[in-house]
Structure 1
């Protein structure tokens, strides 16, 4: 059977069509738009222009679903709509113009679904999972492959870029400020953990970061676990706001040229805060978790 999942994120809007057979899923079709909704938020509200662009993209994706005659589908949003003050108005306009309902996930729910989507592939029973999105970072601490604590921090890669980066790549002063703010936000949560050696990373920018590590020959592509000390080496390779740095990122993931380094700083900050040594990058995301839990009724213990 085919299922459609549309993820309305702060950076991208993505439709995945999945085939579910014999307890396994495979992506049959995908459509992604780098909409960058964060740039259309003014005074904590999504602007009329942002609403218009979002409606246009959602109409296109709804047409894709209709073309494939997919009846089982869901549209959900993360920090993109969760953190705006005119959320009800935006959802009403989408309902009126596209004839779809939007499931707005809470931060904690988003983290749990990211864990649900990734748990089958996570190599360790204990650790921390982070989902770095454009508008927020979800942090999930797990023990014996079950969630122990989960938190949402409104400090995503695109939001960081938009607010704290003056050029394309953060300079040294900006990088230090981003790290200090990330630490202060983690301190406010008052985690009960001292050291967590293992980290699982979720999200497109983290996947792009992993590809950069391989492309720069910092680690072999067949190694599933990344030594987190390599993040400092990667940061050194990408520290200058110049054409050489742009070309390195463009060669690997052009759509992440502005969010890759902010993501790197966020991941390195969290890893340092918790004393993580190893990073596994998940091939799955909140979309698969949403499919599993909300549409297939799996992951019921999450």
Structure 2
């Protein structure tokens, strides 16, 4: 691995035969993630993905974007190092097609062309002409939904899928027929931390300010997405999976144990309160805590609590299902 800030990867699998090999890359505010997969179809013609390699690195591309409106050159370089290693893996595994999407931070950055020039240079080493693309909040929401509900019974729908990222939070309503409504709220664990939560641990006033900020931004989403129709809440992305891992009291992070965990809202709130009130060192000492999430997990927990309160009030939802499958899987499916 290269010298990107932090990394977490899965085991690789030998190439299959008679299948197309594709790669999806999700570059968000906090992390950059890679999925290399083989594409096949079942007897009914439905697309199936078989993982070859998954990897996540925290590069904090969106560091300071909320305050300055521009990418920090050091953040672009951290992202380049990670992407360079990802492209090496794509070459090694003979990837035929790739789609790389950039989300919240890239939509906001005034110097985003520097980022796109870098990604075109790197991706072109594996697939001629490949380059990153900025997707809208609406498409981000739809890709997240497609990845999140693929393994859930249609009888549990309609679903409200929440992708709680670093710079934005997508709220999506839909069922087995697809998305009904979606909204990308301009709030995430990095954005809320940089704006509101500066203490270690944060002060009571800072937490109150963060809750107000989260409630204000999420109210815009609930004004567009009729979540009162939802029967099941599905949460995806690093804040949600980390909360589940802490709730399970795992000695280290285990994606198989986290995937499709169901948390009653009372347990979710208890874990969130605990994370919000912890110091940096106390969070870092938690077995399943990724080092790159230590300083922003409290902000993510504030957003998760506000979501829990609103979905309980508006839809009578009493629990959260946490899925490891999210926008990254949706990106790969969109290629297939």
TM-score category, normalised to shorter length: 0.7 to 0.9
- CA change 1:55–1:237 in 2 (3 A) is closer
Q: Contact 2:103–2:137 (CA<8 Å) still a contact in 1?
A: yes
Whether 2:139 is the aligned partner of 1:109: answer yes
Find the counterpart in structure 2 of residue 206 from structure 1: 240
Q: Contact 1:133–1:156 (CA<8 Å) still a contact in 2?
A: yes
Q: How does 1:144-163 map to 2 (within 5 A)?
A: 146-163=178-195
Match of residue 3, structure 1, among 22, 44, 53? 22
TM-superposed deviation, 1:81: 1.0
> Which whole-Å deviations, capped at 9, do the CAs of 1:167-210 have from their partners, x for residues lacking one?
35433322222121121123334246374453110112211111
Find the counterpart in structure 1 of residue 10 from structure 2: none
Q: Contact 2:35–2:329 (CA<8 Å) still a contact in 1?
A: no
- CA change 1:24–1:93 in 2 (3 A) is closer
* SS, match of residue 55 in structure 2: strand
* SS, match of residue 37 in structure 1: coil
Whether 2:325 is the aligned partner of 1:284: answer yes
Find the counterpart in structure 2 of residue 129 from structure 1: 161
Find the counterpart in structure 1 of residue 14 from structure 2: none
TM-superposed deviation, 1:79: 1.1
Provide the TM-score with structure 2 as the length reference: 0.78
Match of residue 307, structure 2, among 270, 273, 284? 270
Q: Contact 2:26–2:33 (CA<8 Å) still a contact in 1?
A: yes
Match of residue 260, structure 1, among 297, 307, 316? 297
TM-superposed deviation, 1:277: 1.4
Q: Which runs of structure 1 show a deviation greater than 6 angstroms over 4 or more consecutive aligned residues?
A: 220-223
Runs of 5+ consecutive residues of structure 2 not aligned to the other structure: 1-18, 125-129, 252-256
TM-superposed deviation, 1:95: 2.4
Aligned pairs, how many? 292
Q: Give the whole-Å Cα distance in 1 for the aligned partners of 2:260 and 2:28.
A: 29
Give the aligned CA root-mean-square deviation in angstroms: 2.7
Find the counterpart in structure 2 of residue 88 from structure 1: 113
Find the counterpart in structure 2 of residue 299 from structure 1: none
* SS, match of residue 183 in structure 2: strand
- CA change 1:282–1:48 in 2 (3 A) is same
TM-superposed deviation, 1:224: 3.9
- CA change 1:104–1:243 in 2 (3 A) is closer
TM-superposed deviation, 1:248: 4.8
Q: Give the whole-Å Cα distance in 1 for the aligned partners of 2:178 and 2:163.
A: 16
Whether 2:266 is the aligned partner of 1:229: answer yes
Match of residue 18, structure 1, among 28, 34, 37? 37
Find the counterpart in structure 2 of residue 30 from structure 1: 54
- CA change 1:38–1:73 in 2 (3 A) is same
Q: Give the whole-Å Cα distance in 1 for the aligned partners of 2:329 and 2:158.
A: 21
Q: How does 1:184-199 map to 2 (within 5 A)?
A: 184-189=216-221, 190-191=223-224, 193=226, 195=228, 196=230, 198-199=232-233
Runs of 5+ consecutive residues of structure 1 not aligned to the other structure: 297-302
